[in-house]
Structure formats: structure tokens, C-alpha cells
Amino acid sequence: MKLYPIGTIVHLKGIAHPIMIIGFYQVYEEKVYEYVGVPYPTGLVSTNSMIAFRPPLIEALLAKGYEDENAKKLDRAMDRIVSGISAMHKKEAV
């Protein structure tokens, strides 16, 4: 799965202000979320200002964050890890 890079600003369904992506694959209440973000432009003012979210909540891409070769390598590595975890869960379900 291609993820937006750190620093990307998105508009989420049901959220009035833009959100800037600051991390990936966060676990919250035993669920895994592809993204974690903070309100833009205020940023991280407390841990309560962070929001974990999944791609279906993204309503609009407002600005794409900086992406270099290292970011692309990280994205490919995370894709392999997530694919491996998904395959393990499918085997366990059978």
C-alpha cells in the first residue's frame, strides 16, 4: 500500500481542520491505523491532539509531504512487512 509521506496535509471526513501526517502504523485500543496526524497548522500541542486514522477517512489531499529515496525505501519495506503480517493472519484464520 502506497502511503502518503510524513508532512502530508489531508482533510478527513468529519474533521473541520486539516491534519498533517506525522507517523505510520499506530496501534490504538488494539487496532492498527495506517496514519497518525496532528491538527494543521497548530501541530502537536499535547498527546490529546494526535489522531490515528485509516485511508478511507481521507476526503482530500491538500499538500503532499517531502519524499526522497529514503522515504520510498521505507514505504517499500513497510509494504513488505504489512503483506507478511496479513499473510500470517490469513493462515491462522484457516
Domain contains 85: yes
Residue 20 lies inside a defined structural domain of this protein:
yes
- Least confident piece of the model among 14-23, 32-41, 47-56, 78-87: 78-87
How many domains does the chain fold into? 1
Phi/psi at 77 (5° precision) = -65, -45
Annotate 45-76 with b (16+ C-beta within 10 A) or e (fewer): eeeeebbbbeeebbeeeeeeeeeeeeeeeebe
Bridge partners of 12, per DSSP, are: 58
In a domain, 78, yes or no: yes
> Which pLDDT belongs to residue 86?
61
Q: Is 35 exposed, middle or buried (0-12, 13-18, 19+ CB in 10 A)?
A: buried
pTM (global) more than 0.85: no
Domain that holds residue 86: 9-93
Q: Does residue 4 lie in a domain region?
A: no
The pLDDT of 53-73, averaged and rounded, is: 95
Considering the domain boundaries, does residue 88 fall inside one? Answer: yes
Averaged pLDDT, 6-30: 93
